[in-house]
Amino acid sequence: MKSFNVPVQYRSPLVTAIKQERKAIDRLKKDFSPTVLSIGSLEIVLARHFGFCYGVENAIEIAFRAVAENEGKRIFLLSEMIHNPGVNADLQSLGVKFIMDTSGKLLIDWDELNENDIVIVPAFGTTLEMEAKLRAKNIEPSHYETTCPFVEKVWNRAEKIGKDGYTIVVHGKPKHEETRATFSHSRAHTPTVVVKDMSQTELLAQYIIGVLPAENFYTDFQGLYSEGFDVTKDLKRIGVVNQTTMLASETQGISDYLKNVMIAAYQLTPENLFTRFADTRDTLCYATNDNQSAVQAMLQEAADLAIVIGGYNSSNTSHLVELCEEKLPTYFIKNEDCLLSAQEISHFNLHQHQELTTSGYLPNKNHYKILITSGASCPDALVERLIVRLAILTGNESHLVKLEDEWNVQS
């Protein structure tokens, strides 16, 4: 796989050494078992896969290259390049400005842009409408486009099955930049509707089989369907694609559920299933699949707690948190500074959508076992700094040199 020129501050000598050794003995990535690090009385269980993915490293390289190649010019990002506050802050410190926030709200008036400006398209991609706006100002969006190749793969899949006469059902978070972009690209070719979860999918099924009045669809799915969508015609042939960072099991469940709905509604057999339900296969990216599988394997270890690092608005990270929460106390943090002391931790609560401070997160015992993973937009350097912070707080700082020696860490 291609290697990228990523700023050194995002790298970690320790994590790099661990990943390289695991890769050397498991090149096909068949082994999802975690790596266990012994640091005195602290035991760290590190997920097999975590951190920057292909798409994120590609985006970082392009964004920093855009800055280096355009000294003296104004440089803008359409919105956050990736969902990591540290990386976005680094770009802002270099003078890069955001045109919109993650919800699509304008932070800079369009009239302020001109053809001499540089605009970077974020890793989530953007809508066709936004591309047209930029081109109308003589700004070519593809010049510094960081759209993840796996997101583009979803767009291509949606276009293909759309041209084959299927309506696209997008499983994604409606307000997420990637889902907005996928919706835009899909509806350019075929009727499209977005579902955010299984509950909304079950509601959609009621319209597929005609249980609910067709006119109610436009209220129930307001803002989630393409212009001109005809619920009486456009749900007779469907295919499912997804936001690439969704929970794999949920996407699979939604796809299987809708397939069974079509089988029952039209008495389909395996031989003629394709007449109503497109074979879209899973459109999750490899990193999402690998990271989620690695967390599930990590959770086989008995532990005191789990810590997940990433941006609080990161979709793929939030799903890692959800997986961990099913098994043990889990703390979603943005960096090592969230560990305020051995007694208190600042963390994000997904359910309350706010940052909380919790006391007593470390158990009162002589030995600690902690699971750690991070999202696909989280630098490895943050993982190493978290490990160091935990070693200090648990009185095991003196054992860090031995850990580096064990993994032959090169400074």
Report the catalytic residues.
Answer: 178
Amino acid making up residue 218:
Y
Q: Quick one: which of 4, 121, 126, 124 has its CA closest to 54?
A: 4
The sign one gets for the Cα dihedral 131, 134, 140, 146 is negative
Q: Name the pairing type of β-strands 354-359 and 344-349.
A: antiparallel
C-alpha distances out from residue 142 to 62, 128, 134, 365, Å: 11, 12, 10, 55
Residues whose CB is less than 8 angstroms from the CB of residue 54 and which lie 6 or more positions away in sequence, other chains included: 1, 2, 148, 149, 150, 286, 287
Angle at the Cα of 62 from the Cα atoms of 133 and 376, rounded to 5 degrees: 100
Q: Quick one: which of 99, 89, 66 has its CA closest to 311?
A: 89
Three-state DSSP class for residue 102: coil
- For residue 319, how far is the Cα from the chain centroid? 8
Three-state DSSP class for residue 85: helix
Q: Is 54 exposed, middle or buried (CB count within 10 Å of its CB: 0-12, 13-18, 19+)?
A: middle
Crossing angle of the two packed helices 149-163 and 177-187, in degrees rounded to 10:
30
Half-sphere exposure of residue 291, counting CA atoms within 13 Å on the CB side? Answer: 34
List of long-range contacts for 91-95, beta carbons under 8 Å, 24+ apart:
91/63, 91/64, 91/67, 94/64, 94/67, 95/67
Token pair, residue 164, equals 């084959």
- Other C-beta atoms lying within 10 Å of the C-beta of residue 100: 19
Amino acid making up residue 203:
L
Give the integer Cα–Cα distance in Å for 378 and 340: 20
Token pair, residue 88, equals 């976005």
